[in-house]
Chains A and B, each alone.
Chain A
Amino acid sequence: MLTAQFLLLGAVLFCIGVYGVLARKNAVMVLMSIELILNSVNLNFLAFSVRHDSVDGNTFALYIIAIAAAEVGVGLAMVLLIYRNRRTIALDDLSEMKG
């Protein structure tokens, strides 16, 4: 079934994204992984939207795209500032939050 394949693709993308968030040291790569996760969720919304023949899923997907864009904007700005201050964007070096 078409829906199942969409869901499968979403799951794969989600797993890749999670892996990227957990494993990559580069902050930009982490942000990109987060985008992957968000888009995998988008795929799920659209798949169920098509299956149930309603526009609710589409609406959610549109919102998520808008919010993801904003989130990337904020995230990249933070990365840029971190780079300016420390000349690196490796997340391992940013451990000031250690309790």
Chain B
Amino acid sequence: MLVAEATAEVHASSGWFLEHAWVIPIVPAVAFALIIFFGKKMPMKGSEFGVASMLASLVLAVGAAWQWIQRVDGVSHAAHSVAEEGAKHGAPFVGPIIREWTWWQSGGFEFGIGQHIDGLALTLLVVVAFISSLVQIYSLEYLRGDRRYTHFFAALTLFSAGMLCMVLAPNMVQLILGWEIMGLCSFMLIGHWWEEEANSRAALKAFFTVRVGDMGLLIGTGILFFSANSWTQEHLGVSGFNISGLSAWAMSGAASQSALTWGAVALFVACIGKSGQFPLHTWLPDAMAGPTPVSSLLHSSTMVVAGVFLVGRLYPVFWEGLKIGDTNINFIVLIGGITIVIAALLAFVQHDIKKVLAYSTVSQLGYMMLGLGAGAWLPAIFHIFTHAFFKACLFLAAGSVSHSGSHHSFDMKKDMGGLAKKMPITATTWIISTLALAGVFPLAGFFSKDEIIDNVGHNGYHAFMIVGLSGAFLTAAYMTRATYLTFFGEARGAAAGEHHDEHDAHAAHDDHDDHDDHDDDGAHDAHGSHGPHESPKLITVPLMILAALALVAGLANATPFGSNWERFKKYVEPSSEYVVAESAMASGPGESIVLPAAEEGAKKEGCAVVAPEEGKVCYFPTVSHAKFKWSKAALSLVIVAFGLISSWLFCVQYYTRRDRRLVGLTERNVVLRGGYKVLWNKYYLDALYEKVIVRAVAYPISRAAYWFNQNVLDGIVNAAGKISRRVAGWVYRNIDQRVVDGAVNGSGAAARGTGGALRPVQSGKVNQYGALLFAAAAIGALILVIINT
């Protein structure tokens, strides 16, 4: 009990930034409105609002993260000093800072809005705000002179606001709100250059594909709400939308297993759509039609991570619903594993540098899902963190190459090659990030990806550990291919300084033509005619910052160096202690909920295994962590090295020396040709969706709709028309012709008759008028006399 008292003290001083974390998404939301209304009048066309708001959010997020670290330190310090055997209990429970206000009410249900701040939320808040800031700064240069510059920044800012709003969400309703804002903004940003049909098609594809998954989100939320609501109301006093309520309900043992399973499956379908998992990953590569900063922000570190975040956020639901702790294969792991391999294979046949990165992203998201599905929660979340830096860097470097090196082309085979000498900074940052992505020690990717693979095996998912290792090999190989094609070998096309005919080279990216012109007038001369050169500072500085982080971010949770380096584990991973159930609802401003800290005498088995006693709840399953061994790491390092070297040698042989044994192999060998064709056609998934599913669904529907239209609707309309025509005819003949016209004609005739009768009176003779006057007066007088007598 001393522990609880000591920690309660710490909780009370949770700090301004933590209490007011809900401001973080509001800042960019306000900036969005400012850009929309006043952006065009501002000296920098509204971009200053966007950049300033993202920087402000970043400051707030970092402040909150700092105070969170203080809080966790305080709690664990107190726990250790009071209870010497603290190590036995694992991490003490540090309550999230939840504040919720009623947003609206409907039919007795209250929908809240507010914040749910814990390590997971703060990790993403910092990452999103940071990447958004850098991307906006980068966009200042990259989109200079674009025809919809102001709107671009508006959408970008709103997009970040949506993501921040989702990350903060204390309940499913707010989470869906942020989720949908992102869906809308991604549509606007991918279709930024909508004049070209391919771009608007890509935007629509992204939107609709994600929407397919979103149905799962709504259904899953509904399932969970209706099964959890009464339990959460009774035990925690919150609605069934509340995230901590749902977590506690899932872990309580009182939850219905089928509700949990179907809820988890439905929610994971939403994650498949949003996070580009197989089989709904097809939208993500097409989404590269958007401007490169958009790809960098949306499709590497922010939007696609939303699905991973959802799984991480409602982890107890997935844990219990899919029996993550007890099986060696489940839905999430299966999808994640398939995604890793198929996406990595697709990356080999791409010509477009951004599409390589897109498939790489899909594959890395597969790693995150694999980790979450196999119980490796912390490594998966850590992989979000590290992946954000190096993938954003890779995308921005690709943008830099196209901006200054290849005359706005993204085609590696036609317009790139040998750029390393011309663009040293871009090349260096690219290579650092590539190595980080491949997982080379001691760069960022090593610590996260290797941990995922290690823990997947440790938790009994041995088959998927092999999938993960082969994915690591493939990643190293396709990234080497992309690096070689872009930066080494002979210069081709625009990279060699060739000036294409305007509409030849630009065929694929014609949309750049407009914002192309500024460069020709600008201080640095036209790149088209003068060949490749290094990009300006606004582009290289964000690249360098991101590359530096790709170098060192892994140290934030460097498992190999001992537990003192595992900061992520300490600050981000939720505790799986049993906690006394109390109201999880903070009532209003100024109050944060204080959940009591670690209870003494927790069972050894932990939350996931034994249901909590009456009056206590769990918020997180007990996950086990694999012990780091250099022998296991060495295996994956060797695999990665093998991937890098073999791919490099192959590229040299194939692309530069034009080895006769290799060139044209896909034409000669039937098996390879078949494989190449399948990959080139993206496993025919697009064809399946568009030709088979859309046709099968849409064509019968449209035919049925046509039939319905022709026979039923038209019948109704025609019948109604005929009836009304008959009624109208009757009305015309009887009422209009006889009654109305009769009245009109009658009054006319009456007036005419009266006029004719009175005509002689108007003789024009004054004397007669006088006589009439006097006669009338006499008659009037006579009447008066008669009445009065």
Interface residue ranges, A against B (CB under 8 Å): 18, 21-23, 25, 30, 91-92, 94-99
Taking A30-B766, A92-B765, A97-B762 as given, write out 12 further A-B residue pairs in contact, using a Cβ cutoff of 8 Å, ordered by the A residue number.
Answer: A21-B770, A22-B774, A25-B767, A30-B767, A91-B765, A91-B766, A94-B766, A95-B765, A96-B764, A98-B764, A99-B759, A99-B764
Partner of B767, one of A91, A96, A97, A98: A91
Nearest B-chain residue to A25, judged by Cβ:
B767
Contact A22 B762, beta carbon cutoff 8 Å? no
Cβ 8 A contact of A98, one of B758, B763, B774: B763
* Selected contact of B774 from candidates A18, A30, A94, CB within 8 Å: A18
Contact between A97 and B764, CB atoms less than 8 A apart: yes
- Alpha-carbon distance between A12 and B580 when the two chains are bound, in angstroms: 122
The complex places the Cα of A90 from the Cα of B761 at a distance, in Å, of 20
- Tell me the bound Cα distance from A99 to B769 in angstroms: 13
A21 vs B759: C-alpha distance when bound (angstroms): 23
CB B771 to nearest CB in A, in angstroms, measures 5
Q: Which residue of B lies closest to A17 (CB)?
A: B774
**B319 CB to nearest A CB, Å:** 105
* Chain B contacts with A in 746-774, Cβ cutoff 8 A: 758-759, 761-767, 770-771, 774
> Which residues of B does A touch, CB under 8 Å?
758-759, 761-767, 770-771, 774
Instruction: Knowing A18-B774, A22-B774, say if A95 contacts B767 (CB, 8 Å).
Output: no
Q: Secondary structure at chain B's binding surface: helix, strand, loop or mixed?
A: helix
B764-A95 in contact (CB<8A) = yes
Instruction: Tell me if A99 and B762 are in contact (CB < 8 A).
Output: yes
Q: List 24 A-B contacts (CB under 8 A).
A: A21-B767, A22-B767, A22-B770, A22-B771, A23-B767, A25-B767, A30-B766, A30-B767, A91-B765, A91-B766, A91-B767, A94-B764, A95-B763, A95-B764, A95-B765, A96-B764, A97-B762, A98-B762, A98-B763, A98-B764, A99-B759, A99-B762, A99-B763, A99-B764
Residue in A closest to B758 when the chains form the complex, CB atoms: A99
Report the separation of the CA atoms of residues A18 and B773 in the bound assembly, to the nearest whole angstrom: 11
Residues of A within 8 A of B759 (CB): 99
Task: State how many angstroms separate the Cβ of B704 from the closest Cβ of chain A.
Answer: 75
B59 CB, min distance to chain A CBs, angstroms: 93
- Chain A residues contacting B762 (CB-CB under 8 Å) are 97-99
- A36: min CB distance to chain B, Å: 13
Shortest beta-carbon contacts, A-B, top 8: A99-B762, A98-B764, A95-B764, A97-B764, A21-B770, A91-B766, A99-B759, A22-B771
A4 to B766, CA, bound (A): 33
Give the docked Cα–Cα distance between A95 and B774 (Å).
Answer: 20
In angstroms, Cα B766 to Cα A91, docked, is 7
Report the bound CA distance from A4 to B167 in whole Å.
113
CB distance from B758 to the nearest CB of A (A): 8
Chain B residues with CB under 8 Å of A30's CB are: 766-767, 770
By a CB distance below 8 angstroms, the chain B residues around A91 are 765-767
> Which of A18, A25, A94 gathers the greatest number of chain B CB atoms within 10 Å?
A18
A50 to B261 alpha-carbon distance, docked (Å)? 117
B754–chain A nearest beta-carbon distance, Å:
13
The distance in angstroms between the C-alpha atoms of A30 and B766, with both chains bound, is 10
- Chain A residues whose C-beta falls within 8 Å of the C-beta of B763 in the assembled complex: 95, 98-99
